A = this chain, B = another copy of it.
Amino acid sequence: MAVNEVYQYSLISALMDGVASNGIPISQILSHGDHGLGTFKNMVGEMIVLDGEVYQMKADGSVVHIDPSSTITPFATVTKFQATTTTKASLKDGKKDLQSLLDKLHPEARNHFLAIRMDGVFKRIEFRTAGGQCRPREGMVDVCSRQTTHTFEGERGTVVGFRCPEYAMGINVAGDHLHFISDDRQRGGHILGFETEGEVEIGVAVLSRLNLELPKGDEEFDGAKLIKDEEGIKAVEG
């Protein structure tokens, strides 16, 4: 795969329907990208892929550096990230300000995918971590009803994420989807809100190719009713 293409394994709709028992080795994901996010078997924790390293951010607050050959993922989105636009900005109303900035930087890209990276200090950053399924096939809305949320202040770290176009809803999450990890790799999760401490460095790439890989020979995936639960996806991934 070339730089700045999306590689995705499985569907957000499948996670919504609780398809998270099987997957592919993370080493296989890394052959397609060095920057991205996802989850783990049984939705235990949040995945961040940063500079080709993979971290599992768990609900108990711990962060595990993952061995990609011995760990599988039921859902991940990655790219070989090469920022085509870089800037510095102060974002007071985190996600909203980021959205406005992206619209301004890339007005031509509303029907394309964007990969995003931000490095700097965050005055306030709220994130959640999903603890995992209580039973096989438990859907994501139920899993996330038990999510742990944290707020950190003055944390230096990196945000990795994507913005997906509206028509991709169900396949992925329409809008922005951002994960955070601290510089010391001790804290992180799925971002609910943030405010930067002064300016942070922002790198963006426009992605115009989606390579979507569906699970093969996976009875759980094959048996799932993949309805597009837009409200549900917005509630747990917004």
Contact = CB atoms under 8 A, between A and B. Distances in A.
Interface of A: 11, 13-14, 108-112, 165-168, 170-171, 208-216, 219, 221-222, 224, 226-228
A228 B167 contact: yes
A214 B111 contact: yes
A234 to B, nearest CB: 15
Given A170-B167, A214-B208, A226 B11 contact: no
Given A167-B171, A224-B111, A211 B209 contact: yes
Contacts of A112: 214, 222
B210 A166 contact: no
A165 B171 CA distance: 11
A212 B211 CA distance: 6
Contacts of A213: 208-209
A2 B13 CA distance: 26
A131 to B, nearest CB: 27
Contact of A226 (B165, B208, B216): B165
Nearest to A211: B211
B209 A108 contact: no
Contacts of A224: 111
Contact of A210 (B208, B212, B228): B212
Given A208-B214, A214-B209, A222 B108 contact: yes
7 contacts: A111-B221, A112-B222, A166-B228, A167-B226, A208-B216, A210-B212, A211-B212
Given A208-B214, A213-B209, A167 B222 contact: no
A111 B226 contact: yes
Given A13-B167, A111-B222, A166-B228, 12 more contacts: A108-B219, A108-B222, A111-B221, A112-B214, A112-B222, A166-B227, A167-B226, A208-B213, A209-B211, A209-B214, A210-B212, A212-B212
Given A110-B222, A111-B226, A212 B214 contact: no
